[in-house]
Structure 1
Amino acid sequence: MKVKRIVANINTKDISAAKCFYQDVLGLNLIMDHGWIRTYGLNEEMSIQISIASQGGSETNTPDLSIEVDDVDAALEGMKRAEFSIEYGPVDEPWGVRRFYVRDPFGKLISILAHEH
């Protein structure tokens, strides 16, 4: 047996609120819509990971989701333009990532990050 996919599920009564954050700003595609559930993603192979943490690093709160992007500063500007609340950063962390924390429309703390090269 092997794990093929891990899907994060966020409970809400207003699933349409996800579009601006996850599709418009982060560029994910709507890949499934059954009315009661919408799934955003990309048709690319990605790493399967689940992290268990006592804090978020640098003494921050543990984020609900971590989303790796290719350009943190572009993601930050998109979040600011869409008026999402930036709660931490942007910062270059000592373990080699540049990141910021933002609240999604459902109040989830999201770490947006890129590995430094």
Structure 2
Amino acid sequence: MSGRIERRVPGLIYADVAAAQTFLIEVFGLAAGPLHRGDDGTVTHAEVAAGDGVIWLHPESARFNLRSPRTVGADTAGLSIMVNDVNAHYAHVRDAGAVIVYGPADMPYGVREFGARDLEDRLWSFMSPMD
């Protein structure tokens, strides 16, 4: 192989990218990144950050056969995000109105974790290492 992999950049598909970006920032506490629009005003790309990692948000596309979980009626991908205090983060996400799938629980793989759905039904998990 010529070259090396430097980092991963997950991409998530949404029917409404602008609304998804706002939800991920306000409800899940991710950091705002850029939001790009085409000449016609349609959102073409947006970003949020989780710690030192970036997550790309893209609109649905017939050309590339990309659909949001809400459109296909099933989860198409999920992300797990490390936070410094999972219980406090859970309280924020719950109080902000997200659909909670499972509350904070100690997992056998060494983290305390909860799961919540975003505004287009994608499952996200948030966790902290257990002490």
When the two structures are aligned, how many residues end up with a matched partner? Answer: 102
Structure with max Cα Rg: 2
Distance 1:86 1:42, change over 3 A: closer
Report the counterpart of residue 20 of structure 2 in structure 1.
18
CA distance in 1, matches of 2:53, 2:16: 29
- After TM superposition, give the deviation of residue 45 of structure 1 in Å: 6.8
Report the counterpart of residue 130 of structure 2 in structure 1.
116
Moved more, 3-12 or 14-23: 14-23
CA distance in 1, matches of 2:101, 2:129: 20
Q: 1:40 aligns with which of 38, 48, 51?
A: 48
Deviations 1:27-59 (A, max 9, x none): 33222221221101157379xxxxxxxxxxxxx
In structure 2, list runs of 5 or more residues that go unmatched. Answer: 38-43, 55-76
- After TM superposition, give the deviation of residue 18 of structure 1 in Å: 2.2
In structure 1, list runs of 5 or more residues that go unmatched. Answer: 47-62
CA distance in 1, matches of 2:125, 2:116: 7
* Structure with the larger strand share: 2
Moved over 4 A (4+): none
CA distance in 1, matches of 2:48, 2:101: 24
Identity value in percent: 32
Mapped contact 2:21–2:47 kept (Cα < 8 A): no
CA distance in 1, matches of 2:50, 2:107: 27
1:27 aligns with 2:29: yes
CA distance in 2, matches of 1:45, 1:86: 24
Give the TM-score of the pair, scaled to structure 2: 0.66
Q: 2:80 aligns with which of 40, 62, 66?
A: 66
